[in-house]
A and B are shown apart, each in its own frame.
Chain A
Amino acid sequence: MHVTSRRFKDNVRGAVNDANLRQSLATMKTGFRVKRGLAVAALPEFEALREAGKAIKTHTLEHLDHYLEHFEARVLERGGHVHWAPDAETARRAVLDICRTHGAKTVTKGKSMVAEEIELNAFLEGHGIRPVETDLGEYIIQLRHELPSHIIAPAIHVRKSQVASTFRESHPQFPADRPLEEPRELLDEARTVLREHFLGADVGITGANFLVAETGSSVIVTNEGNGDLTQLLPRVHIVVTSIEKVVPTLEDTGTLLRLLARSATGQIMSSYTTVSTGPRRPDDPDGPDHFHVVLLDNGRSRLLGGEFQDVLRCIRCAACINHCPVYGAVGGHAYGSVYPGPIGSVLTPGLASLEESASLPNASTLCGRCEEVCPMKIPLPRMLRHWREQEFARHLTPARTRWGLRAWAFAARRPWLYRLGTGLAGRLLSRLGRGRGRLARLPLAGGWTQVRDLPVPPPGGTFMARYKRGETR
């Protein structure tokens, strides 16, 4: 997994001052958040549903080997194939081999975060195969040579006018003076272009929202129907997915689907829910001749049995991202990982390494909003703190922070020293504030005063000093 999170701080600086991004993120806050709120409020049993969903995933993760083997056996029975991929390279190779076996030149792709994680598009292009994204958002960012900035709305950072100019550049077959101001016009143009690709593709690649152990099925949800066309029209359907997507029964997906759409977009159900089970049978009117499932691990099994196991319950609804004030301030690209927001900050150090992504677990106020809205009740703040603990234990925390903490901890357990320190600090700050009650600059406090004033204590000493003097009643 390619991670550029080391540049997080620099990325952030650009992001907070990007006016286009600000507008996009403001739309997200009023859109996704409000819609989810209404959908949840309209379902009295939402809380019970969360518990049920959590129980399904918790149980499955505790018996993951069993359900995965069961899933594989059912896929094979139905005439499909399963490719176990311990890492991204194996997964990419598996996809390429299947494409080559069938002489594929072009592949259509439904939206898949796992495909993003293994950087499948660049790999296929490098081997002479043209991948075409068919989800509108993914299509837009593919044309713009960008990465997704959100797991369910990959082009959320792109404004409508930017989409229009991208289409003008990328679709020279249409009249240059065509109107592209309205969303409908953009959508129609994308449909026209994608229609050709759907019909011409040799292989269709999709992700999976769920894998069903009892039936060997993969389940995807879309709002554009592009997933259906991607997986039904070409001769070959490859499901690129990861091991934690499996659930025991089809019934279980019903529970999880009810949570997924509400948490993600505030819909009761996504417009399309598609269940694929094996290749086309003799009586089927349509469907692929070949059905492959590439099952990616890529670090997930390492998280089993430890303090991060619960993060594998994630159903990728993006509710945590939509409600995260940090994501809301910087957008997805700043994170330097295909998984942004709170879920990404927990997942990325697990899938890549903590060394590459140590900024991410720290870039959170631990405000708790993510856990509050997570349909799977993943304790994301607790996990962010676990990463911080590992970072501290492995001496990845900057020396200045470590020494600062050490000095603070030393004093905080010695009240006489602590009072001496707070007394001095209080008097000093108060005097520096010179009756204005605040400071615009303070040496060693640049992190604070760079963006805001520092209110200083009023004269008269700390509370503990005043209390001792009997001045507090």
Chain B
Amino acid sequence: MPPETTPPGVPRVALLVTCLADLFRPTVAQAALRLLDAAGCTVRVPERQTCCGQPAFNSGDRVDAVAQARFMVEALEAESVDYVVAPSGSCASHIRHQYPILLGDDPAWAGRARELADKTHELLSFLVDRLGWTDVPGRLDAQVTYHDTCSGVRELGVKAQPRALMARVEGLAVTELAAPEECCGFGGTFCVKYPDISGRMAGDKADDVVATGAGMVLGGDMGCLLNIAGMLKRRGSSVQVRHVAEVLAGLTDAAPPIGEGTEAP
């Protein structure tokens, strides 16, 4: 349904797929679509979107970070929507907090960056805080634990919202980690530049996950989840790893857990 014909009061949302979900975990974006749909939004997927630009920004490549921010402002503006929503704290925070700074000195772009920043949200906080909606369709008999991702919890205040949503999933029991807000060691390019440190941090996170006795660990950012899954699988752990949106949307049958295949291990 084109946005122009959306009935009044129905939120028009553009989905920011995020580059990691696009490539490594399409079911996360699919789950986001399903959740936003169930919450009564009209959702579009802007065609020209690629990546928010964090790889350049966090590597000190400001020129490319600025160029990528401009590109994405244009790509996301292509849909006339009320909100831009991403199944990631990291990407949403980058647009919300950094785009206005990256493009702030350029009069042609500052206003557009500000406008995009103000309407961009992380998925779970959008559903709970913005829409006041927690009526998730997911059902799953599982004992899970939850990793608070750094950008989500510290830059966007995503803490209570995933827990409120998980509490509505029938059959789901959540056991907290000992250190849920401790960084998992992903850190974008950090994880490949400093594998020894990253591996130690991911190892500590994996220990914490295993110690809860949960059969599954959930989180809201694909970078962290790839890292945690990579470590758990390297250790031969049977603990499953998924993006929380897949569980909330009832999409756990759509793909095996992260880092697991269709074959028996």
Contact = CB atoms under 8 A, between A and B. Distances in A.
Contact of B23 (A329, A409, A457): A457
B183 A452 contact: no
Interface stretch (B110-118, B135-143, B161-169, B226-234): B226-234
A391 B234 CA distance: 34
A426 B147 CA distance: 26
Interface in A3-23: 9, 12-13, 16
A368 B190 CA distance: 14
B56 A448 contact: no
B197 A16 contact: yes
Contacts of B198: 365, 451
Nearest to A334: B197
B259 interface: yes
Contact of B259 (A387, A405, A451, A453): A453
A389 interface: yes
Interface stretch (B4-12, B24-32, B121-129): B24-32
A392 B187 contact: no
A461 B17 CA distance: 14
B176 interface: no
Given A409-B61, A413-B67, A453 B234 contact: yes
A184 interface: no
Contacts of B50: 411-413, 415, 418
Contacts of B183: 325, 365, 367, 369
A412 B68 contact: yes
A248 to B, nearest CB: 32
B174 interface: no
A104 interface: no
Contacts of B188: 365-366
Contacts of B64: 405-406, 409
Nearest to B57: A385
A451 B62 contact: no
Contact of B229 (A362, A391, A450, A455): A455
B263 interface: yes
Contact of B231 (A13, A329, A451, A467): A451
Nearest to B258: A455
B194 A472 contact: no
A22 to B, nearest CB: 9
Given A435-B261, A437-B256, A463-B26, A365 B199 contact: no
Interface residues of B, number: 78
A401 B234 contact: no
Nearest to A22: B200
A440 interface: yes
Interface residues of A, number: 69
B239 interface: no
Given A405-B56, A453-B230, A472 B30 contact: yes
A388 B193 CA distance: 14
A458 to B, nearest CB: 5
B60 A438 contact: no
B231 to A, nearest CB: 4
A438 B226 CA distance: 10
B58 interface: yes
Given A362-B190, A413-B71, A462 B185 contact: no
Select the residue from B25, B185, B230 with max chain A CB neighbours within 10 A. B230
Nearest to A458: B255
B212 interface: no
Given A391-B60, A463-B26, A16 B155 contact: no
B200 A440 contact: no
A255 interface: no
A437 B260 contact: yes
B58 A385 contact: yes
Contacts of A397: 59-60
Contact of A388 (B60, B68, B150): B60
B181 to A, nearest CB: 8
A458 B49 CA distance: 21
Contacts of B182: 325
Given A405-B61, A437-B261, A451 B193 contact: no
Interface string B57-77: 111111010011001000100
Contact of B26 (A329, A445, A461): A461
Contacts of A436: 260-261, 263, 265
Contact of B55 (A326, A385, A405): A405
Given A385-B60, A405-B61, A448-B192, A368 B150 contact: yes
A460 B56 CA distance: 29
Nearest to A13: B196
B21 A463 contact: yes
Q: Which of A369, A411, A446, A461 has the most CB of B within 10 A?
A: A369
B233 A453 contact: yes
Interface in B194-209: 194-204
A39 interface: no
Contacts of B51: 412
B186 interface: yes
B253 interface: no
A454 interface: yes
A389 B150 CA distance: 22
9 contacts: A369-B181, A434-B263, A447-B195, A451-B195, A455-B226, A460-B26, A463-B26, A463-B28, A467-B45
Interface of B: 17, 19, 21-30, 33-34, 37, 45, 47-51, 53, 55-62, 64, 67-68, 71, 75, 150-151, 154-155, 181-183, 185-204, 226-227, 229-231, 233-234, 255-256, 258-263, 265
Given A365-B183, A437-B258, A463-B21, 10 more contacts: A325-B182, A365-B150, A391-B60, A415-B48, A415-B49, A426-B24, A436-B265, A453-B231, A455-B258, A472-B30
